Structure 1
Amino acid sequence: MTSRLVQQLGAQNVAGGTAKALAEQIRALILDGRLTVGERLPSERALALELRRSRSTTTRVYGLLEVDGYVSRRHGGSTRVTLPHTAARVGPVADASAIDLSIASMDSTPGLYDATVRSLPRLAALRGASGYSLQGLPELRDAVAERFTQRGLPTDADEIMITSGALHAFNLVLATIGRRGERALVEQPTFPHALEALHRHGYRLVPTPVDVTGWDERHIADTLLRSRPHLAYLIPDFHNPTGATLPDTARSRIAATAQSVGTHLVVDETTAELDIDRGWTPRPLAAFGPRVITVGSMSKIAWGGMRIGWIRADRAMITRLLAVRPSFELGTALLEQCIAVELLREMPALTAHVASRLHAGRDAVAAGLESIESLSMPQTNGGLSAWLDLGAPVSTELSLAARDHGLILPPGPRFSTGGVLERRLRIPITLPPERTAEAMQRLRLAWDDVMSGGTTARTDMARSAVI
């Protein structure tokens, strides 16, 4: 059985490489978060057998990593991933001049301040209550339910639970229905922290491909029928990171197939309202099947700092979720809920502002790519990012080169289940145009380094979240 380390490396990518080169590739996996701190690595002997290399080579590899602080080894025991103690002191992560493209999110909407002021009387009226809100304020659940209804999915407030963001909602769902050892169908690429959550809950991941042109519907259907996964995690609207949208006809067929094999569909709608110029509006996937659980949030349309999300599910599932939630949280902050009520009342203005910002960000990325030979902007009608085809498997190399120019850029494999997608790169369209222009200049310098063979892998960068 192939170890996770070798899956992430890709045996074909390290064949014939020196011990130093192999150590650098493993270090890149650690810095990017594809190998996690504390994770156990194969023994020197086992790694040598998997890579068909000498024992002395793998001993040298682990020795180099240990000297730099990226693994810890016990004589006769295990080798585990660590981070150098000096990682918190390094420059570019803490450097205000660095541009972080691992975060695909905009700053706050201009209406946030006024909505906060308007929310204060609502908050003051709640002072006589306990302050705990397990399912969420009725007014906010009404507003979220109304938004689903407007989008073509009749919904009652009893089918809504308010959470502290969409990722929190997903983890709550997994804590409620999760089954260790079961299969979970996931898109490839997809949101990295969802993959981490599924791994943490013991799922075995079964990938299905997505690209800027969309999904392979036949592959999804065949995988559902063959593997009968317990759960499927999908991002059908402005998919993160490709930007694709799943058509209604495909939603209907996927929901029906999932229901026939008993698979829970967990749909992430965090990006559903990020339309620029798609030209059509699909119905929520939950409109096509009773076993669909939907998670969403305000983070991409209002502000990431306002941790408000929700779950839409049938009443029986909401009851189960309510029974589990107190074991790790007693509700969502009331102030944020009160603000969200005000913001949801102004959704047309809010979505118009988001579309304008994303349009400007998309134009800035497209303009920047014009100066980079071989790269171009794919069709991007909305969402958080452009999903670039680099034309060669150099994504990790480009990511490391970008750090030399003060650019934090997660490589394509960060969005995969097994270290693949080295030809791909996610570029957010969410930054202000002037910031994007500077980021694209730095990307061009890194690209030139890679194309000229003059890259130097930085080894002093702490890993960061991908949002």
Structure 2
Amino acid sequence: MTSTATRAEPPLTSDRRVSGHGVRSIIGSWSRPGAAYGALADALRQAVLSGALPLRTRLPSERELAEALGVSRTTTTAAYDTLRDEGYLTSRRGSGTVTTLPTRLPSTTGQFRAAQGADDLVDLTTAAPFAPDELHAAVRDALDLLPRYLPTTGYFPGGLPELRAAIAARYTERGTPTTPDQVLVTTGGQEAIHLLVGAHAGPGDRVLLEHPTYPHAIDAVRAASARPVVVPSGPDGIDLDLFASTLRQASPRLAYLIPDHRNPTGTSLSADARAQVRELADRTRTLVVGDEALTDLTLEGPDPASFAGDGTSPHVACLGSASKGYWGGLRIGWVRGHRDLVGRLTVHRGHVDIGSSVLDQLVVARLLADRDAVLARRRQQLRERRDLVRALIAQRLPSWTPNRPAGGLSLWVDLGAPVSSALAALAPRHGVRVAAGPAFGVEPGLERYLRVPFTEPPDRLELAVDGLARAWAELGVDDDVRASSPTGSLVVV
């Protein structure tokens, strides 16, 4: 087999090793029509690209993986050979087979159709919008304000005073009285999550998460060597009875929820449910964190009630981010909580980060001042794109069942069959990359579901759905269903 990419040469020695059964859990439902080794190679490649199989991780032997997957050793050998040639695996006698990445990808490779270059790949693994038109003016205004901070060191561990004041004013406006000393500005929402988890949970401690949930929250819990404990969320949000019993029985150090337009399902907690969550937090003395990164992206209906309520509970905290409502290039997030909590987090943060970019903070302060106009245009754009993707799916993938979220950035699509991982592995061949359902869960499952963001421009969204339709046709699920059902209707077991 001829190599189509230049291989990277990372050190082969690695403390990370994944077993055959571990690989089986990571790649999920990977089989599809056609050569089994090709389907397995696609699934492993997708796992490396998505980070599910970290780089410099030693894979099981071909024999061990074959036994775990119930396939022949010829299949695993051919799949490994394919990925070695492409530069996704590297091997050396005595050192095993280790995951890596090609140092470059050519304009056309075996992953894509011959007529399709790498530049045509539509990446739907990230649900985030492009910058708003108002960003340029906000940057100009921020540059005009910057000179007042030049005579300082530029280090503001708690955040720039005027941004903390702007965030506090926004919470107060939403019915949660807040002062600037109750706000900590962070370098993005992800840092806020890691700070909250790292300051409260360590090896073996339990952290409660919804199922499904934001993958980076799962990463933060695992990075702290804590133990995620999951509570399912359905169409009406989290199961409050199970949430209450889990708080009592598991005694988690922290609970992480997404109360508004939850990533990936789009559901929100009702005002009554929020009140019950706050009451449970106080009763069990458990810190409950509400991730409000998507709160401002309500597309239909009234804006959601503040997760923090009247803001008096020391056991309820909120975090936010400029990435989803404004732009991911602005690495600014924040935590709103009790003064004691903000103080502890500021000290904890000082071990790794002593402040966020002053210029970025000034830009976000300007965008918050003009938020009504910026968000109105953003919401209208997202409404149109949500409805476009739903219409395209109805036309080209009629067996799929997408939801219609009242806010957020993505659809949660029921595929009708447990093939999400196989589809995600196959999709790059057809010009689109997506995150499979299992990426959003701590426990195995979610193979029936696919997250489809609607943040790309309309022409790119059309290309993405076209690519998904081609990948779906190659997967052959609809054909299998028709063959197994005399009426041709979908049979769910």
- Alignment TM-score, normalising by the size of structure 2: 0.82
Map 1:268-417 onto structure 2 (within 5 A): 268-285=291-308, 287=310, 289-371=313-395, 372-417=397-442
Tell me, in whole angstroms, the C-alpha distance in 1 between the residues paired with 2:36 and 2:460.
39
1:30·1:81 contact (CA, 8 Å) conserved in 2? no
> Cα–Cα, structure 1 residues 400 and 454, in superposed 2: closer, same or farther, change >3 Å?
farther
Equivalent position amino acid for 1:368 in 2: L
Tell me, in whole angstroms, the C-alpha distance in 2 between the residues paired with 1:247 and 1:80.
50
1:3·1:42 contact (CA, 8 Å) conserved in 2? no
> Cα–Cα, structure 1 residues 358 and 400, in superposed 2: closer, same or farther, change >3 Å?
same
Is residue 2:173 matched to residue 1:150?
yes
**What whole-Å deviation, never above 9, does each CA across 1:259-294 have from its counterpart, x for those lacking one?**
333432222111110011133522224647421222
Tell me, in whole angstroms, the C-alpha distance in 2 between the residues paired with 1:310 and 1:94.
39
1:7·1:418 contact (CA, 8 Å) conserved in 2? no
Q: Secondary structure of the residue that 1:173 maps to in structure 2?
A: helix
Equivalent position amino acid for 2:256 in 1: Y
> Cα–Cα, structure 1 residues 62 and 263, in superposed 2: closer, same or farther, change >3 Å?
farther
**Is the deviation greater in 191-200 or in 62-71?**
62-71
- CA apart distance, 1:162: 1.0
Is residue 2:187 matched to residue 1:164?
yes
Tell me, in whole angstroms, the C-alpha distance in 2 between the residues paired with 1:453 and 1:131.
59
> Cα–Cα, structure 1 residues 252 and 348, in superposed 2: closer, same or farther, change >3 Å?
same
1:23·1:62 contact (CA, 8 Å) conserved in 2? no
**What whole-Å deviation, never above 9, does each CA across 1:318-361 have from its counterpart, x for those lacking one?**
11122122221121111111112211111211221121111111
Residue equivalent to 1:232: 255
**Is the deviation greater in 215-224 or in 245-254?**
215-224
Tell me, in whole angstroms, the C-alpha distance in 1 between the residues paired with 2:24 and 2:107.
29
2:192·2:334 contact (CA, 8 Å) conserved in 1? yes
- CA apart distance, 1:81: 4.7
Tell me, in whole angstroms, the C-alpha distance in 2 between the residues paired with 1:260 and 1:242.
29
What RMSD, in angstroms, separates the aligned Cα atoms of the two structures? 3.2
**What whole-Å deviation, never above 9, does each CA across 1:130-149 have from its counterpart, x for those lacking one?**
11111111111010001111
Equivalent position amino acid for 2:230 in 1: P
Equivalent position amino acid for 2:342 in 1: I
Tell me, in whole angstroms, the C-alpha distance in 1 between the residues paired with 2:229 and 2:205.
10
> Cα–Cα, structure 1 residues 125 and 8, in superposed 2: closer, same or farther, change >3 Å?
same
Is residue 2:302 matched to residue 1:260?
no
Equivalent position amino acid for 1:332 in 2: S
Q: Secondary structure of the residue that 2:80 maps to in structure 1?
A: helix
> Cα–Cα, structure 1 residues 24 and 120, in superposed 2: closer, same or farther, change >3 Å?
closer
- CA apart distance, 1:128: 1.1
- CA apart distance, 1:296: 0.7
1:38·1:80 contact (CA, 8 Å) conserved in 2? no
Q: Secondary structure of the residue that 2:139 maps to in structure 1?
A: helix
Q: Secondary structure of the residue that 2:288 maps to in structure 1?
A: strand
Tell me, in whole angstroms, the C-alpha distance in 2 between the residues paired with 1:436 and 1:28.
21
Equivalent position amino acid for 2:340 in 1: A
Tell me, in whole angstroms, the C-alpha distance in 2 between the residues paired with 1:327 and 1:94.
44
Is residue 2:86 matched to residue 1:61?
no
Q: Which has the higher contact order (CA 8 A, sep 6+)?
A: 1
Tell me, in whole angstroms, the C-alpha distance in 1 between the residues paired with 2:474 and 2:37.
23
Residue equivalent to 1:250: 273
Q: Secondary structure of the residue that 1:383 maps to in structure 2?
A: coil
2:29·2:420 contact (CA, 8 Å) conserved in 1? no
> Cα–Cα, structure 1 residues 19 and 253, in superposed 2: closer, same or farther, change >3 Å?
same
Give the number of aligned pairs. Answer: 449
**What whole-Å deviation, never above 9, does each CA across 1:232-269 have from its counterpart, x for those lacking one?**
11111110111111112112222332333343222211
Identity in percent: 35
